[in-house]
Chains A and B, each alone.
Chain A
Amino acid sequence: MLYIKCPYCGLRAQKEFSYGGDATVKRPNINEEVSSEDWDNFVYMRKSPRGKHIELWQHIAGCRQWIKVQRDTATHEIFQTAKVTEEIR
């Protein structure tokens, strides 16, 4: 079971969180024209890297904030966590 550091609450067990996928995906702006290709890429296309991956988790049984987690998908090592408004380098 992972041990995830919520930037608001501190280290908490994985069972308090739910997974939210790739955090680097950016939704096309609302009310702006978007090509079918860009839209399809946003909706469907995700990378599945082996290694470092920046992803979203929601602290669902805690502060309910969505957070960013940089995790190694192979070893589960967590390098960094951040608020969604912060950058992970």
Chain B
Amino acid sequence: MSQPFRLNKEGLINRNKKISFTFNGKKLFGYEGDTIASALIANGIHLVGRSFKYHRPRGFFGAGVEEPNAKLQVEFNGHSEPNVNATEMELVEGLSATSQNCWPSVNFDIGAINNFLKMFFPAGFYYKTFMWPKSFWYKIYEPFIRKAAGLGVASIEKDKERYEHKFEYCDLLVTGSGPSGLASAYAAAKNGAKVILAEDKPRFGGTLLTDDVSIDNLSGKDWAEKIISELKSMPNVTVKNRSQVFGYYDHNMLVMFERVSDHLEKKSKFTPRQRLWYIRAKETILSTGSIERPIVFGNNDTPGIFLSAAAKEYMKVYGVLVGKKPLIFTNNDSAYETALEFKKNNVEPIILDTREEHSSELIDEAKSRGIDIRFSHGVIVANGYKKVKSAKIGKLNKDKNSFEKIETVDCDCICVSGFWTPSVHLASQSGNKLKYEEKIDAFIPDKKKQHETSVGAANGSFTLEESLKNGFENGSNLSAKITDTKAEIAIPNVNEKKYGAHDKFWCMPLPKNENPKRFVDFQNDVSVSDIEIALREGYRSIEHVKRYTTLGMATDQGRTSNLNGLQLVSNIENKIVPEVGHTTFRPPFTPITIGTIVGREVGMEYMPTRKTPMHEWHEKNNAVFVDAGAWKRPRYYKLGSETLFEASKREAKNVRENVGICDVTTLGKIDIKGPDAAEFLNRVYTNAWMKLPVGKARYGLMLREDGIVMDDGTTTRISENHYHMTTTTAQAANVLSHLEYYLQIVWPELNVNVVSTTEQWAGAAIAGPKSRDMLSKLYPDLDVSNEALPFMGYKEAEFFGVPSRIFRISFSGELAYEINVKSDHGMFMWEKMMEVGKDFGNQPYGTEALSTLRIEMGHVAGPELDGRTIPSDVSLNGLVSKKKDFIGKNSLGREAFNVESRQKIVGLIPIDRKSSIPEGSHIVQDQNAKLPNPKLGHVSSSCWSVENNNPFSLAIMKDGKNMIGKKFFAVSPLKNKSIEVEVISSHYVDPEGKRVRS
């Protein structure tokens, strides 16, 4: 099988390795080193997609990141990816590419009818048409637009690939390996700086690979190779190809997207697919080069129309001809190099130059080679629907607004050049205000904003000599400031062709009565007339014109369209371009995969998993876990086919009747030490702490400064100047920061230190009427009687040979203890408890039973301490000292906190004693009242009371204290339930608290 457009010798591809792939089902081959684009063009395929709005046939336009059209759905390595840039994706064995945005096929696309109805699709069409009636939007318009427009299809399969993040620091980051980038990196490396050189393409060298130049008597390509191999050998240099620096963020942080293995047929197991680099650079060289911009003319989107530099790159890098009858349409000298390259490969081009006849080094060379050059000429309109067949060309009059002569010439491709636009995206992202450079009709970076230095074409210097000098000097100076070393470097001799001045001409006029579409933005189908309409309709700001017409808003970020769009606006508005201004550049410069952004933070690695020392035991004993922050806590232990409801009821009932143990390791624990510890606690908690004796625990309540309850827990005085504080699992980190804030900032005079010991202690609660009996077996040598170890007592004792702490505290409302041992002994403690507990009917219980126990006791927890309640709201005002000051005290006097009808915690039971009340239900007087039905409160926690064998809930209710005995409805539209309830005390079981003291 021959490739009709492949040259015999030219190019940097590996002709010894054929690679087979398919395009729209057709089997094709290319060579190692091809992109999908170069391989397709070699096979004579140009029609690859349909445009966004009009579904017009589209082909390739560029040869790299600038490509607006050729976005394909690509399947390779077992995954399918939409919107892959065919000009960037390297060919790999077995790859299959398909056109997107067309149905049923790219050759026959029903949506193309939009093209013939184009008078109905002007700028703002969607905004105007789909406005009314409102109800049509979701049901009719939106699904229609969604189906008709859009790019590729995202895969719904799980992404099996591996992605990585990497953090790196360097003295100098160089973005782009063209001449100025290579020179900068080389000079900085010689000064001993830590350098990262990033190149987006697979090959280093940028324009050196395609330009006819020599440096120190080496070809551009050979010189680039020499420099790169020297850089690679230096330990202070990291050289990365296939790596796009796409974002410039605050404080000189740049983010780079590395395509690690997309080009590999096989890779080792842990090689990531792509890698995201966060690079903190001291200095940054932006050597991102420039992108050729087109000249606008009729049907300029027809397949077969290329940027002229892209056509040259296809010949020189890939050995591929974009056509055999080329028209070169230019306003400057650089396209002459493309013409000369065609000529060298025995293809006869015709050059249409918008400038009047004149002479320059390149023009003279083209003339001497016998190339047909037509000055003051341009393409008016391209003919051909799916591929260029001919072009109507015209000789321009002196003012270039009409034609002296029009004719049609045959051609199979048009290579267009409207001069060069520096790639200033990264500079702009860094905060650099750009300035308009009249000489090149484009924006270049202005004064430095961060540590960015633009060099070479990215800074508007378009000669090799200047770019190299610029690169060497900046690379050397910037790095010398960091390394204090300045190596001598001889700036090499350069041989390049001199370019004449370009023509400030960017859009072809149309002959009378002809009205073909002239596209400014290919990817979003924005034409000259769309911009004219936007301006006619009163849009003035360039940002508004952009949004109304969608100019420059597609995934290519208007790389080839922005400046022509600005020129058009400035012409119509009769302003100069800098007055029109430019739109904002935002990262990412090129689309990057979601997988790369996420990196390794997926599945198990999404967040750290915290397991208690007893976790394995829970697992072995059929615990069903629940997430409590990063912790895994047993929710219940499943016996046989038990449901959550059945198991938690069994576990809770067993605590009420016998004894149960619960893993409470996850509670926050903070060690507090220092001579002022008591004074500190006295300020932090609402209740009094100065007189707590050693060996005693106390329940404490903490507020925020605004009077809202922050957290609760017990704190125990271990010794004179040593306390052990517990917090809720959820608030542990916040409470520690809170304490540190007051100690470091507000009261630095207090001599106190705090440190988290959550991970250091394993904790188990033993709760139930038989807990003391069980405890006495666990501590046979210890007096655990009510007198020796009363409620809120504390003892230290050996637990079968390991040190332990015994706290007589209770969350379940039963007679209960909490044992702490060092984490390493946690499993030992737990297994011992299970063993000893057998005689007492002990069973482990999970968080669900724990909730049941605390709810029916009326103990508050997270759902009640929800950041909106003050102590009296949750019946904890008994803990608020009137005598001393503490954090938040002054706020408790606020008027709203003291009104008679202030909200308060209450208990609720269903009238039918059967229906469970959904948490989050609203309490209303009349379930059938007209909306909005006044809300009297909400249900915070619900359980099945094991003591009374019926549902019970806690609720926060307006004027709660006067509601006892009244009936209401608890309604949950979410669960579609309305339950008649009676308000009772929040203390449903043992309201006097006898059990804990028994």
Interface residues of chain A, those whose CB is within 8 Å of chain B, are 1-3, 13, 18, 20, 27-28, 30-31, 34, 36, 39, 42-44, 56, 58, 60, 64-66, 75-76, 78, 84-85
Contacts and interface: CB of A to CB of B under 8 A. Distances in A.
B192 to A, nearest CB: 21
5 smallest beta-carbon distances between A and B, as pairs: A3-B251, A39-B890, A76-B250, A31-B885, A66-B744
A42 B705 contact: yes
Interface in B693-751: 705-706, 737, 740-741, 744-748
9 contacts: A3-B253, A30-B747, A36-B893, A44-B706, A58-B740, A60-B737, A65-B744, A66-B745, A76-B251
A20 B741 contact: yes
B251 A1 contact: yes
A58 B741 contact: yes
A2 B746 contact: no
B891 interface: yes
A50 to B, nearest CB: 16
Interface of B: 167, 249-253, 278, 280, 431, 683, 705-706, 737, 740-741, 744-748, 884-885, 890-891, 893
A28 to B, nearest CB: 8
A66 B251 contact: no
Nearest to A39: B890
A2 B251 contact: yes
Nearest to A67: B744
A33 B167 CA distance: 51
B891 A27 contact: no
A78 B745 CA distance: 21
A62 B938 CA distance: 41
Contact of B431 (A28, A43, A58, A75): A75
Nearest to B249: A1
A75 B430 CA distance: 10
Contacts of A31: 884-885
B740 A66 contact: yes
Contact of A1 (B278, B741, B884, B893): B278
Given A3-B280, A66-B740, A27 B252 contact: no
A2 B741 contact: no
Contacts of A75: 431
A25 to B, nearest CB: 10
Which of A2, A3, A13, A30 is packed against the most chain B CB atoms within 10 Å? Answer: A30
Contacts of A13: 167, 280
B284 to A, nearest CB: 14
Contacts of A20: 741
Nearest to B251: A3
Given A58-B741, A66-B744, A84-B744, A30 B705 contact: no
Nearest to B741: A66
B522 to A, nearest CB: 35
A43 B252 CA distance: 36
Nearest to B449: A75
Given A30-B747, A66-B744, 19 more contacts: A1-B250, A1-B251, A1-B253, A1-B278, A3-B253, A27-B746, A30-B885, A36-B893, A39-B890, A42-B705, A43-B705, A58-B740, A60-B737, A66-B740, A75-B431, A84-B744, A84-B745, A84-B748, A85-B748
Given A31-B885, A39-B891, A66-B740, A56 B745 contact: yes
Contacts of B747: 30
Nearest to B704: A43
**A56, A66, A76: most-surrounded residue (chain B CB, <10 A):** A66
Contacts of B746: 27
A36 B897 CA distance: 14
A2 B250 contact: yes
Contacts of A64: 740
